[in-house]
Amino acid sequence: MKKIILLSILILLVSINLEAQVNDSLKTRKAQVTFAYPIGSSGTSSTEYLNNFSFNILYGLNGGVNGFEMGSLLNYNKGQVKGFQLSGVSNINIGYSEGFILSGVSNICMDSTSGVLISGVVNYSKQKAKGFQLSTTNIAVNQINGFQLGVFNYAKKLKGVQFGIFNYLDDGEEGLPIGIFSIVKNGHYELELTGGEVIYSNLNYKMGVERFYTIFKAGYSSYKNSPVYSFGLGFGRNISISERQKISIDLSYNQIVYNNHWHSAKLNMLNKADFNYKYSISEKISLLIGPSFNVYVTEEKIDGEFGTLNIPYTIYSNQGTSSNLFMWIGINAGLSLKL
C-alpha cells in the first residue's frame, strides 16, 4: 500500500510540472491499441490523435479521447477526454475532462473537469471542477461546483458540499463542509461556556461555518458526592434573526464518566438537542439561553439505582433488566466567545 501511495504522489508531482502543448487540430481515429508507448498502433505519433476507443495494455500516451479508454496501469492524454476512462493505477489528463473517470490510485486533471472522478488515493483537479469527486483525498486547487467525498477534502472555493473527516476550504461562503474537522478561512470558530440542570459546567468548541459546524464537548458535574465527567461530539448550525440575535440548534452525543471509571464498558450516554437564543453584547461575546431535549441511556447502577446524573424529572422513562432510559426537557445558559 505504501508503494502505491508513493507512486501516486510521484505521478501527481510529475503531472503538475508538465507543460502541455495541446494540438487543437487533433486527427480523429476510431480506435487505438498500445502495449507500452510507443509500441502501439499509432507509434510515436499517438499524441496527435483523438480516439473514440483507446486500449492501453500497460500504459499509453495519446492525444485525447471521445468515447472510451482503458489501461491497466496508466492513461495519459494531452488533449480533452470525454466519455468513460478506466485505469488500474492512474489517469492523467492535461486537457479538459468530462464524463466518468475511474482509477485504482489517482486521477490527475490539469484543466477544468466536469463529471465524476473516483479513485483509491487521490483526485487532483487544477482548474475549475464540476460534479462528484470520491477518493481518500480530493484536491480542487481552484473552484469546485459539486460534491467531494473523502477522508481529506480540499478546495480553494466550494459551491456545494464536502463530506469527510478532514475538510479544508479557502472560501466557504457558498459551500457546506460536513466533517469532524472542517477548517475554513474566515469560517465559524466559537468557544462556549454553559451550564444546565445535570451537567453543571460545559465547555463547547465549535468549528466550521455558520450553516454547519462540529462541536467538541467537555463537561463536569457531580453525583452523590462523586465527580461526573462528560465528553462528546455534536453538530449544529446558527440561524440569524438580526445583526445581534441568532438561534443555534445543536445535536450532540455525550459519554458520561462516573467517579473516574474511564475504562468502564457499561453504556452511560446522554444525547441532547439544544435550542439556544443568542444575543451579542459585543462583536465577540454573546449571551445564550434556551431549552434542551435530553435522552439518557445508562447501564450504570449506583446504590441499586440506574444512572449517574441528577435528573430533575422525566417526561418518559423505560426500565429494562440491564439498562434504563430517561427523557426530560432541561435548560442551557451561558456565554460564547467568537474566535
Q: What pLDDT was estimated at residue 125?
A: 96
Domain span holding position 15: 2-184
- Domain co-membership, 176 together with 268: no
Q: Are residues 206 and 284 in the same domain?
A: yes
pLDDT-derived band at 173, boundaries 50, 70, 90: confident
The pLDDT confidence band at residue 20, using thresholds 50, 70 and 90, is: very low
292 in the Ramachandran plot: left (φ > 0), alpha (ψ -120 to 50) or beta?
A: beta
Per-chain mean pLDDT for the chain: 92
For residues 29 and 101, membership in a common domain is answered with: yes
Clarify whether residues 212 and 177 are in a common domain.
no
Determine the residue type at 209: V
Q: Of the residues 161, 184, 207, which one is the last residue of a structural domain?
A: 184
**What's the CA gap between 2 and 35, in Å, rounded?**
27
Residue 125 shares a structural domain with residue 54: yes
Residues 239, 175, single domain; the answer is: no
pLDDT for 62-82, tens place per residue? Answer: 999 999 999 999 999 999 999
Nearest 5°: the CA angle 339, 234, 179 is 80
Residue owning grid cell 433488566: 321
| Same domain flag for 293 and 201 | yes
- Specify the amino acid at residue 133: Q
So what's the pLDDT on residue 96? 95
If pLDDT is split at 50, 70 and 90, which confidence band does 8 have? Answer: low
pTM (whole model) above 0.95: no
Write down which residue in 137, 163, 184 finishes a domain: 184
pLDDT at 26 over 90: no
Q: For position 283, which CATH number holds?
A: 2.40.160
Last residue of a domain, one of 184, 219, 237: 184
